[in-house]
Structure formats: C-alpha cells, structure tokens
C-alpha cells in the first residue's frame, strides 16, 4: 500500500496522470464541461440515443453495460471502442465478455458524428459513452442524473485486460467484491449497480453451465436456480453457442426497476453471480432492502453510476479527443508519460482526494 504522503510526489513527477477513484471529491470531472466549447453536446448525444432506442429499445441496456465495461478496463477512456490493439493481439471488444454480446457501438458512432459536425475534435468518446448511459437510464428507468465530464480518450485496448478486470457470470461473492474494490467501488455499490440486470438480455453461454452438464446432454440445476426456470433455459439453449438470448428480468425486461432484487429470492437470478448476492448475508440484506424500496435503490444507483464514471479517468492534456471513436488519432501529439504505479491502497476512504497513476 502506498503511504498517503507518496501521492503528492507521484502527482508531481507524473507528466500525465490518471485519476484513480475516488476522484469524485477532487473535481477531476465537471458537470457542464462542454457548456462553452460545445453547448449542444449532451443534447446531440441524447438525440442519437433516442433515435436508436425508437428502433430497438434494447440498445439502452447495451449502452448502460458499455459504460460499465469501458470504465472497468483502463478506466472510462473509450478503450472498449477501439478496433485495433496497437501492441498486437486482441482488443477489448474482441474478447469473450464483450464479443458478441456488447452492443450500442453504432449508437456511439452516430452520436460522435453529430457532435463532430457541430464541434469538431472537442468531445471525447469516453464522455459520449457516459452521456449515452445516462440517457439510457433515463429512457428505461425514468430517473435522471447529471454527468460530470472532461474525460479524455485512451490510445490502448488490450483484450487480456478485459478478461482480467470484467467480472464473469461465474464469479463468487468474494470475487465480485474484490473486483469492484479494485475499482474503488464498495460492496454496497456492487449490489446497487447489479440492479442494472433488470434490463437487457443474455446469450446462452453466460448461464449454460447452470442448466446443463456433460456438453448439453444431462440436465443440471444449480441449487440457486428455480427448476422450472432452468428447464425453460435448457429448451432455449441446447448448446452453449446457440445464438439465442433471454431477458435477465423476464417480468419487465425493458424497464430499469428494482425487480432484479425481487427475482433473487425466487431463485430467478439468471447468473451464478446474481445468485451470489443471496448467499452472502451482507449483500442479501441490501438486496432485500432494495426489493422493498425502489426509490432508494434508484437514488443510490445513479450515484453509483456517477462514481463508476470516475474510474481511472484521464483528464486535462492526457490522452486525446479521438476523431473516430473506433481508432486512435493518426499521430499523437500527446507526450509519453512517466509511469508511476501506485496500488489502490486508499480505496476504501470516500473522502480521499484523487490519487494519481500515470497513463501508459
């Protein structure tokens, strides 16, 4: 663990610093960041999201997850959008947790095109993802929040890092808690954010092993899964790679609500990881509370989304404003930063000022 005193030193020597959470209290990002430089930015993103949502309401769930998967890998820097790994090898968007399930890329592209027409080279792709997630929460959950902005786009996408940092649907309670703690998110915030699974869908692969053994030849029911529900899932998914999807919340699949927490005690959490929120008494107490109080959950959900949006952000002169969200800018004017790695030792302290780690 880095002693607190070393933080200032790291800031001073780092040519270009990433903000590690909790950067929320330190003003790393700012609501209304584009007020002068691109006053229409947030409205243009909202219009692009609304247009896509009108054609396919499922994109909202996709965009909420896109923000999560962006922020958990290299911070909220739009690295998830890149189609090339400059070091060779797979990109984030090519690997299992994102491919083929992650969606909403075309919506980000449409929003970026609109924003570029209005104010070229001004609005980062990372901020567009954060705005689009907010707009999606509003459209599906009828709850709004302000998004602090000023994120800069990264120049690296590495598939291995996605595999290492994104929680798998087979994760235990302890692993879930650890993976969120690594991103400065508390156990409570993990439970709160999991409620996003009240919208959207899943492919077979994410729950196949809960309902089948022996390569799809023998039924198996994870003890945390309702047998009748499991039978329906088996019928849907004869093979792990059957290209079918199913809603995670079959009751209200298009509405961001607290129904996720109501499904858990019915053994209808779709993933092993969802059911883990029941087996841990601390998590279960919170889930029970949210099942009974939707208003409290929504309030805490948007607060946790804002906090998630601060993970390891690059600001100021770090990173770049990508012109095309799918590829890094042709030649970088950004200086190569000095690397100073600090472990996230101060993570549990809500009040800690932004801790810096250099960009790579």
Q: Name the residues annotated as catalytic.
A: 69
Q: Which residues bind ligand HEM (CB under 6 A)?
A: 58, 61-62, 64-65, 68, 101, 103, 167-169, 171, 176, 190, 193-194, 196-197, 199-203, 205-206, 271, 273
Segment near ligand NAG (CB under 6 A); pick from 49-57, 116-124, 146-154, 171-179: 171-179
The DSSP line for 174-220 is HHHHHHHHTTT--HHHHHHHHGGGGS-EEEGGGTHHHHEEGGGTEE-
The least distance separating ligand NAG from the CB of residue 159, rounded to whole angstroms, comes to 7
For 96-136, the three-class secondary structure string (H helix, E strand, C coil) is CCCCCCCCCHHHHHHHHHHHHHHCCCCCCHHHHHHHHHHHH
330: contact with ligand NAG by CB under 6 A: no
Q: Which does 173 bind (CB under 5 to 8 A by kind): ligand HEM, ligand NAG, none?
A: ligand NAG
* Nearest CA among 160, 18, 152 for reference residue 88: 160
Which residues fall within 8 angstroms of residue 215, CB to CB, at 6 or more apart?
none
The least distance separating ligand HEM from the CB of residue 32, rounded to whole angstroms, comes to 23
Give residues 213-242 in contact with ligand NAG (rule: CB under 6 A): 214-215
Contact at 8 Å (CB) between 344 and 20? yes
191: contact with ligand NAG by CB under 6 A: no
* Nearest CA among 200, 201, 199, 219 for reference residue 209: 219
Tell which one of 29, 123, 173, 357 touches ligand NAG (CB under 6 A). Answer: 173
d(CA 342, CA 333): 26
177: contact with ligand NAG by CB under 6 A: yes
Q: Which does 23 bind (CB under 5 to 8 A by kind): ligand NAG, ligand HEM, none?
A: none
Contacts with ligand NAG by CB under 6 A lie at 85, 87-89, 158, 160-161, 173-174, 177, 187, 214-215, 280-283
């Amino acid at each position: 663990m880095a002693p607190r005193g070393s933080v200032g030193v790291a800031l001073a020597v780092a040519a270009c610093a990433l903000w590690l959470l909790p950067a929320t209290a330190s003003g790393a990002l700012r609501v209304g960041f584009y007020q002068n430089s691109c006053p229409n930015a947030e409205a243009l993103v909202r219009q692009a999201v609304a247009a896509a949502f009108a054609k396919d309401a499922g994109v909202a769930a996709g965009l909420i997850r896109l923000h999560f998967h962006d922020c958990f890998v290299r911070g909220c820097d739009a690295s998830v959008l890149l189609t090339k790994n400059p070091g060779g090898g797979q990109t984030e968007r090519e690997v299992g947790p994102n491919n083929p399930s992650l969606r909403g890329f075309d919506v980000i592209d449409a929003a970026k095109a609109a924003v570029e027409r209005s104010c070229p080279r001004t609005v980062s792709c990372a901020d567009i993802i954060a705005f689009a997630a907010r707009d999606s929460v509003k459209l599906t959950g009828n709850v709004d929040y302000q998004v602090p902005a000023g994120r800069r786009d990264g120049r690296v996408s590495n598939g291995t890092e996605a595999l290492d940092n994104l929680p798998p649907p087979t994760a235990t309670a302890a692993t879930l808690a650890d993976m969120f703690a690594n991103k400065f998110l508390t156990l409570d915030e993990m439970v709160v954010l999991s409620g996003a699974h009240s919208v959207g869908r899943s492919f077979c692969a994410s729950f196949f092993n809960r309902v089948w053994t022996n390569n799809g030849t023998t039924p198996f029911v994870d003890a945390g899964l309702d047998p009748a529900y499991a039978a329906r899932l088996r019928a849907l998914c004869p093979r792990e790679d059957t290209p079918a999807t199913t809603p995670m919340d079959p009751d209200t699949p298009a509405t961001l609500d607290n129904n996720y927490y109501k499904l858990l005690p019915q053994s209808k959490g779709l993933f092993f990881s969802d059911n883990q929120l029941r087996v841990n008494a601390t998590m279960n107490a919170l889930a029970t509370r949210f099942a009974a109080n939707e208003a409290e959950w929504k309030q805490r959900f948007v607060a946790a989304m804002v906090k998630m949006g601060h993970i390891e952000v690059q600001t100021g002169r770090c990173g770049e404003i990508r012109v095309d969200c799918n590829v890094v800018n042709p030649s970088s004017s950004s200086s190569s930063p000095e690397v100073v790695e600090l472990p996230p030792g101060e993570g549990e302290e809500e009040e800690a000022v932004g801790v810096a780690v250099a960009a790579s």
